[in-house]
Structure 1
Amino acid sequence: MKFWKSVVGKLWFTILSLVLIVLFILTVLLLEFIENYHVEEAEKDLTQLADKIAVIIENHEDQPLARSITWELADNLTSIAIIQDDKHVWYSPNDDNHLSSITLEQIKHDRDLHKALTDRKKVSKRAVPNNAGSDNERLIVGVPYEKDGKKGMVFLSQSLLAVKDTTKHTTRYIFLAAGIAIVLTTFFAFFLSSRVTYPLRKMREGAQDLAKGKFDTKIPILTQDEIGELAIAFNQMGRQLNFHINALNQEKEQLSNILSSMADGVITINIDGTILVTNPPAERFLQAWYYEQNMNIKEGDNLPPEAKELFQNAVNTEKEQMIEMTLQGRSWVLLMSPLYAESHVRGAVAVLRDMTEERRLDKLREDFIANVSHELRTPISMLQGYSEAIVDDIASTEEEKKEIAQIIYDESLRMGRLVNDLLDLARMESGHTGLHYETVNLHEFLEKISRKFSGVAKEKGVSLTEDISVSQPECVFDEDKMEQVFTNLIDNALRHTESGGSVHIAAQIVKDGLKIDIKDSGSGIPEEDLPFIFERFYKADKARTRGRAGTGLGLAIVKNIVEAHGGSIAVHSSIDKGTTFTFYIPTKAQDDV
């Protein structure tokens, strides 16, 4: 900032200008006063001397002697002229033609001097005699007198050069004092303006720091006057701003954390329809929509048409609006509520909830009820039909009755297994698995499992092999539950593998745990069904599994048993290439059993 535009420059210039104006006025008035004073003193002295000469002339009979006495009374700078009856004029010997140049005619033409002659009154006047320069101004004083009936005037003339010399000498001192005063005033004004404006400059710097976000700025308090009080108020304002800004930042961070941790998407929309704030779930929704519409992600101020229409309805009606929309195979519920600024609507907030899982659970629940009904209806219908055959004596021979009774028995066992599976699954999902750990010889255990299914595999023409690569044959787990896992997985593999195929069981110790692979060369599982095969009653490709026994609960039970052991299970499959189920359970020491 330039000096002249700063507060210091303006204040310094104002003080200096004020002092200069005052000094100028005082100097002019003082010089005028001094000059007038000296002139008045000279006039007073001349008037007294003129009165004295008039008295001498009036009191002496010998007029020549009286005039000689009067000539002695005048100094070298004073000239005397005595005029009698307006006819006779006598001049002092030292008159250097200043008064003698003033003739009677000129006196008559001078209003003041002529008035003194006619009215016989005292007169005082500053005049420049004829043929004299302007620097030879003189003071002329006239006093009337009367002697023996003869009237006259005594005129005294004195040069004002001495007065002017005195005035010039005094003027030099006055200008010297004024110059010193100006210099001192300049330094004092600069010092005063700098000292007065120093706190203001600090406040300006503090305000600039506040504008940059440095709310801990503190202004030094140098005085106890109004500026000091202003500095105290400024510091208090800074503390209050710092407190409120920190509070706002905390609330903003808290709100941001809440929005970021929400499972639901949140979009804040301005009144013109532009997006102001989004959280990660909402951003994923918008990115999916941009991808579907082949839009650039930078065009982030656009909403899907359904959301725009819902936004307009919410703003126009000032009521909450809701729709359900599908995007990339996922179901979304969009709830739009108006936002208010005092009494008018300033925008809206949209809450997005991914309902895909809920809709899938609803579908699974419906499928569960349908599957349970179907699984129970089939054996009940068979029980009812064959029971009626016995009651109605349709089975005539003993062999037919035994066959019917065997079918009724098998179907009742199937219903029992279904009910037991449901009870076991419910118990496992509620955390009441009730595992009974024991030390098991892995070789003997897998051989038992192989013998259990060797007959079925041979009957179907499927090769059942095993590979046990373990250095420690003994493992700790619940033998019954783990046998149920192997039974379900191998049974599934055999049912979905055609004649000429193979089922391979591999076991190995990895990372303090037991890893089991059950691989078949069957028909495989579609990729889109893989994430759901461990759900209850879920059957991959219903047409492909139609006619094959199974309740749809086996894999759900397998997953719960493996997870109850602290392990995990995964599946890899390709259509017409086969499926591999891999599960891992951590080994336990005998002391932990």
Structure 2
Amino acid sequence: MVIALVVLVVLLLVVIATQYRAYRARSSSLELIHRKLKDIIEGGTSEKLLVFTDDRALIPVLVEINHLLEHNQQRAANFLKMEQSMRKMISNISHDLKTPLTVVLGYIETINLDPDMDAAKQKVLLSKVHAKANEVLQLIRQFFDLARLESGDEPMPLSRIHMNDICEKNILAFYDTLTVKGFEVAIEIPDKPMYAWGNEEALDRTLNNLIANAIQHGGEAMVVGLTLRGDDEFVYVDVWDRGKGIHELHQDRVFERMYTLEDSRNKSYQGSGLGLTITKRLIEAQGGTIRIHSKPYEKTVFTVRLKRIAFAA
């Protein structure tokens, strides 16, 4: 009986000692985790939590903490990038507003300094003031358009869009201008109707911008094209030209706000750097995508993809 009690006491002591060691090991690991987390947070580094442990209960916790750290670090990086983009945008917009306003003030000062200016000359200067004032107004409108699109405050209503009609309408709106300038116009729109989910006003603005962009930057080759095509899931609109194009290194950045590389296409609104950004936001608001493929002086294609409606309802 005594022997049995001694054995039981020994076993209990072993269990207690084992649990105490496990407790001390876990406490040590938790202290290490706390210290390292504090260093990472206070230092604002992109480090991960590296703690070696055999504690199976702690391993999944460590994995999730690292996921959380990675998520927060990515959000911080995105915020920093957005902040830098906003600063650049404000700086560029300030510059773009300052230039026409300076011209406006110059014209007005010229008129004020010459009270005897003849009516014809005064009319010419006033027309220039009017044109520059419209540039400022247009820039302000585009800035607020982008802000509204990015805020998502106003959901874009979607409906069934007859893509053949909307493509024909927008390319024909430029047809006279193109033919007068001597452009070759390549239009490929199938006879079979294609329908997609979209917003007619937003698509008009998108195609108008892309076609005008192709004319502006593809002028050297004197050819502009529009192709409508589709598969079982999507409808695609390609707007293309054979101009100077965009180098491969910069193609991923042309849709960024205020990306105004000298050779980029993101200048379609008086050099504001908002044109292709607004276009991209308009397409994304319709559940679509836009991408670019460019080989300078060979072919530059902007492709809009929208969800297809397989048949007319």
Offset of residue 492 of structure 1: 1.3
1:229 to 2:36 alignment: no
Equivalent-residue separation in structure 1 for 2:105 and 2:166 (angstroms): 40
Aligned 8 A contact 2:230 2:236 in 1: yes
Residues 435, 588 of structure 1: alpha-carbon distance in 2 compared, 3 angstrom cutoff: farther
Counterpart of 1:526?
Answer: 247
Residues 248, 440 of structure 1: alpha-carbon distance in 2 compared, 3 angstrom cutoff: closer
Aligned 8 A contact 1:462 1:497 in 2: no
Deviations 1:40-86 (A, max 9, x none): xxxxxxxxxxxxxxxxxxxxxxxxxxxxxxxxxxxxxxxxxxxxxxx
Residues 589, 235 of structure 1: alpha-carbon distance in 2 compared, 3 angstrom cutoff: same
Aligned 8 A contact 1:476 1:589 in 2: no
Equivalent-residue separation in structure 2 for 1:528 and 1:358 (angstroms): 24
1:424 to 2:145 alignment: yes
Equivalent-residue separation in structure 2 for 1:591 and 1:548 (angstroms): 36
Offset of residue 571 of structure 1: 1.2
After TM superposition, the score normalised by the length of structure 1 is: 0.42
Deviations 1:329-366 (A, max 9, x none): xxxxxxxxxxxxxxxxxxxxxxx999876665454333
Higher mean C-alpha displacement, 467-476 vs 559-568? 467-476
1:486 to 2:293 alignment: no
1:563 to 2:284 alignment: yes
Match of 1:408 among 120, 129, 147: 129
Residues 236, 581 of structure 1: alpha-carbon distance in 2 compared, 3 angstrom cutoff: same
Offset of residue 464 of structure 1: 2.6
Residues 382, 225 of structure 1: alpha-carbon distance in 2 compared, 3 angstrom cutoff: closer
Counterpart of 1:70?
Answer: none
Give the structure with higher Rg (CA).
Answer: 1
Equivalent-residue separation in structure 1 for 2:86 and 2:309 (angstroms): 37
Offset of residue 456 of structure 1: 3.2
Offset of residue 391 of structure 1: 2.9
Higher mean C-alpha displacement, 382-391 vs 512-521? 382-391
Equivalent-residue separation in structure 1 for 2:269 and 2:282 (angstroms): 24
1:512 to 2:233 alignment: yes
For 1:253, the aligned partner's letter is P
Match of 1:580 among 287, 298, 301: 301
SS in 2 for 1:386: helix
The higher-RCO structure (CA 8 Å, 6+ apart) is: 2
Counterpart of 2:64?
Answer: 257
Counterpart of 2:42?
Answer: none
Offset of residue 529 of structure 1: 2.2
Counterpart of 1:115?
Answer: none
Aligned 8 A contact 1:497 1:522 in 2: yes
Offset of residue 245 of structure 1: 7.8
After superposition, where does 1:353-372 map in structure 2 within 5 Å? 360-372=81-93
Residues 568, 548 of structure 1: alpha-carbon distance in 2 compared, 3 angstrom cutoff: closer
For 2:179, the aligned partner's letter is K
Aligned length: 286
Offset of residue 424 of structure 1: 0.9
After superposition, where does 1:308-347 map in structure 2 within 5 Å? none
Counterpart of 2:113?
Answer: 392
Equivalent-residue separation in structure 1 for 2:237 and 2:265 (angstroms): 27
Equivalent-residue separation in structure 1 for 2:233 and 2:264 (angstroms): 41
Residues 365, 466 of structure 1: alpha-carbon distance in 2 compared, 3 angstrom cutoff: same
Residues 400, 255 of structure 1: alpha-carbon distance in 2 compared, 3 angstrom cutoff: same
Residues 542, 371 of structure 1: alpha-carbon distance in 2 compared, 3 angstrom cutoff: farther
Higher mean C-alpha displacement, 415-424 vs 355-364? 355-364
For 1:230, the aligned partner's letter is V
Offset of residue 419 of structure 1: 0.9
For 1:422, the aligned partner's letter is F
SS in 1 for 2:291: strand
After TM superposition, the score normalised by the length of structure 2 is: 0.75
Residues 248, 428 of structure 1: alpha-carbon distance in 2 compared, 3 angstrom cutoff: same
Aligned 8 A contact 1:495 1:548 in 2: no
Higher mean C-alpha displacement, 452-461 vs 441-450? 452-461
Offset of residue 223 of structure 1: 6.1
SS in 2 for 1:262: helix
Between the aligned residues of both structures, percent identity stands at 23
Aligned 8 A contact 2:161 2:195 in 1: yes
Equivalent-residue separation in structure 1 for 2:264 and 2:253 (angstroms): 17
Aligned 8 A contact 2:266 2:277 in 1: no
Counterpart of 2:41?
Answer: none
Offset of residue 533 of structure 1: 1.5
After superposition, where does 1:11-160 map in structure 2 within 5 Å? none
Equivalent-residue separation in structure 1 for 2:309 and 2:195 (angstroms): 10
SS in 1 for 2:226: strand
Offset of residue 379 of structure 1: 1.5
Deviations 1:102-140 (A, max 9, x none): xxxxxxxxxxxxxxxxxxxxxxxxxxxxxxxxxxxxxxx
Deviations 1:20-40 (A, max 9, x none): xxxxxxxxxxxxxxxxxxxxx
Residues 587, 398 of structure 1: alpha-carbon distance in 2 compared, 3 angstrom cutoff: farther
Aligned 8 A contact 2:100 2:132 in 1: yes
Equivalent-residue separation in structure 1 for 2:115 and 2:300 (angstroms): 46
Equivalent-residue separation in structure 2 for 1:477 and 1:356 (angstroms): 33
* Structure 1: gaps of 5 or more residues: 1-220, 266-351
